[in-house]
Every structure is written in structure tokens, then in C-alpha cells.
Amino acid sequence: MRVFGKRSRWIIAIIVVLAAGGAVWFAKSNLANSTTPTYETSAARTGDIEVTISAAGTLAPKEMVEVGAQVSGQLEELFVDVGDEVEKGQLLAQIDATIAQNTVEAQQAQLNSLYASKRQQVASLKLARAESERANMLFEADAIARADYEATVSELEIAEGKLDAINAQIAQQTSSLRADEANLEFTKIYAPMAGTVVSLSASEGQTLNANQTAPVIMTIADLGIMTVEADVSEADVLRVSKGQQAWFTTLGDSDHKWQTEVRQVLPTPEVVNDVVLYKALLDIENPDGILRSDMTAQVFFILGQAEDAVLIPVTALQSRPERPEGAQARRPARPEGEAAHGDRVGDGRGQAIREARAQYPDAEMGMVLKMDANGEAVPQPVLVGLQTRTIAEILFGLSEGDEVVTGQVSIRPKQATERAGNDRPRPMGPPPV
């Protein structure tokens, strides 16, 4: 029993030593071989980039007018229907003209009576003037008394005054007649502009009352030019201005881009649910009539755009130069006295960066990790131009096809068999008895 217990202790001791040695070897092997990471990369490509801000809007005709009645009466007849094309000056509707016609005839009769009175008064004036001239001759010859002469002069002045009064009445009556003739003409409603009848607000037989507000009979719009009324948020309105290029799509045809520009930004906002919105107006020609009133539009105001630009994912941009794990050990030391930043590269990259920044003064400096010929990620300064949420334009520092790091995936073990062999723990002898 004693011999068996001693052998068991030997076996247990050997197992413990071997396990400890294996653990040490495994840890050293992992540490030695875990210095090279692998990355997610993306190749720089050429393409188009466009930076926009968006706003929702609705379509409406640029020119639209409500046609109303200027006189009261029964709507006798409508000559058009919704959807009809009309020309300027075309007869649209007829209001009962009986009362207006009678009024005109009465005013004309009264005017005729005044003209008859005028003719009579002209004759009286002519007689009074002759009597006055005769009295003047007799008075100068001392043939009549002064009182008789003055009476004759007074009669002439009275006749002239009556004629002036009749002339004033004629002028007043003529004005009234013209107003009544205008009201008679208002019973015929004509198109004020060329366009399309988009709505009818009255029907034949309906009585229209124009004494308070002009009743609307129909609405005419020019559908050849439509206006997008876009609701721009308070945060974006300062970046929208007259003449700015834009495009929009409609809810029913999101693949069709309608190119346009901003005509006007209205200065007075609308507050909807505590949100301040400004109206931006954009005109678009609509010769085929595809666009219609009250269509929903998604408007994109262009802040910047570039064609055939070098593009990379935004995720490739670094806030500052970053080195991959182990990169510091692989990077050669800077020669003594060599300048920092871009000037530290002997191939003139610093000078090239300065020239590029002078060429693109509005560009921002950035940094990416670029894969070199050895498959290592090295910092590369770049000039960043336009940028969206997904892609960025590179003005300097990269060419089409350059691979840049967009993210780290995992750690790739090195093939360091010889180092692993050297670090492997050696077998140990049994402990002393």
C-alpha cells in the first residue's frame, strides 16, 4: 500500500508539470503571433457626389385665379365644365340680366328726357340773350328805364344757370347709365386668363349674392407651369436661397427627378405644431400635364456636387492618424533632424499637401489608413471635399483603386513556427523523492 501511494504522487506531479508547461507555451505562442490585425477595407472609386438638404412640399399651379360674380342674380347658364381648356376673354357663364337690362333702359330714358330739357332750355337761353341785346340797345338810347334793362339781364343769367344745371344732370345721368351698363356687362362672365377650369363652385340656377363678398363660380389655373411649395425647416432655411439648384420627385414617380431652381423664399414662416417652417417656391414647366395640383413632392436643395470625384466610405476617415496594432514596431524611426507632419516624407509629400490646400482652401484635412504594397495599414493624410452620411470626396491623397481601412475585423496569427518552438517549455524531470 505504501509503494502504490508513492507512485501515485509521481504520476500526479508529472501531469501537473506538463499541464503548467503547456499553458505557458500556449500563452507565449498567442502573444508572439497576435501582432498583425486584419481589416475591413474598401477601394477608392470615382463617381458623382451630391450634398443636399431635403424638404417636403406640394404642387400648385403658378398662376391660378378664382372667377367670381360682380353682380347679384341667378346663374342662368354655365358654358364650361371642370377640365375644359379656355382662352382669355372666352365667355364662361351668364347671369340673369333682366333686372340689369331694365335698369339700363330706365337710365337711358331719363337721360333722353334731360337732353330734351336741354334743347328747350337752349331755346329759352337764345331768346333771353336776344332780349338782353335789344334792351341794351334801348338803354343806351335812353329808350327804357334802367330797371327794365336790369330785369332783362337777370332773365338771361337765369336762363344760362338753368342750362348749366341741365348739363350737370346730364353728366350725372350719363355716369349712372355707364355704371348700369357695366353691371349689365358683368352678367356675362369672361375668362380673365388662358388655362384650365380646375373647379366649379356654383351650378346653373343658383342665386348669387354679390352685395357682401364676390361669390366664386369657378377656378382657372395655368397648368403649363407648376410651383412646388416646399416647407423648409428653421434649421435649414439659411442654406436655401434664390437661384439655388434643386430637384424633386413625386410620390407617384420617385424615379423621375424634376430639375428646377429656387424662385423665392418667403420671409414669413408658418408655425405647425410648434415647428417653424419657411416656404420655398420652385417653378417647373409642365407641358405634358403630368404634374397636378396638390401632388406630394420631396424636394432636394443642392448644397454641392461633383462629378468623377474620388470617393471613399465615410467610415474610412479618421479623426487623427491612427496606427494599427504593432505598426509602431514596424515603422522605421525618423532620421534625426527630419521635419514633422507632411515634411517628414522625403518624397515631397508635405509640399504637395500645402499646394493642394492652397488649391482647395475650403477643404478639410483628414486622415485615412491606406493599405500599402506589403499589406500593412499606414496613415495617409487627405483633403476632404464634399461629404454625405455615407461617402466622402477626396480632393488629395488618394487615387482610384487605393485600399483604405473601414474597420478592424480580427487578429490574424503569424506563421512564427521557429519562435514558437523556441518558446515551447521543455520537459521537466520528476521531483526529488
In angstroms, the CA 393 to CA 411 distance is 30
Start-end of H helices in 52-187? 98-140, 146-186
pLDDT tens, residue order, the chain (433 aa): 444 455 555 566 566 556 655 555 555 555 445 556 788 999 999 999 999 999 999 999 999 999 999 999 999 999 999 999 999 999 999 999 999 999 999 999 999 999 999 999 899 888 888 888 888 888 788 878 888 888 888 888 888 899 999 999 999 999 999 999 999 999 999 999 999 999 999 999 999 988 877 789 999 999 999 999 999 999 999 999 999 999 999 998 999 999 999 999 999 999 999 999 999 999 999 999 899 999 999 999 999 999 999 999 999 998 643 434 333 333 333 334 333 334 444 456 678 888 888 889 888 999 999 999 988 999 999 999 999 999 999 999 999 999 999 987 655 555 444 444 444 444 434 444 3
Q: What is the pLDDT of residue 268?
A: 95
* pLDDT digit string, tens, across residues 104-138: 999 999 999 999 999 998 998 888 888 888 888 88
Domains observed in the chain? 2-34+418-423 (no CATH), 37-47+307-328+343-414 (2.40.420.20), 53-61+222-305 (2.40.30.170), 97-186 (1.20.120)
In angstroms, the CA 222 to CA 216 distance is 18
The whole model's pTM is what?
A: 0.67
Q: Is 351 helix (H, G, I), strand (E, B) or coil?
A: helix
CB neighbour list of residue 242: distance below 8 Å, 6 or more residues apart: 262, 263, 264, 265
* Cβ atoms of 214 and 69 closer than 8 Å: yes
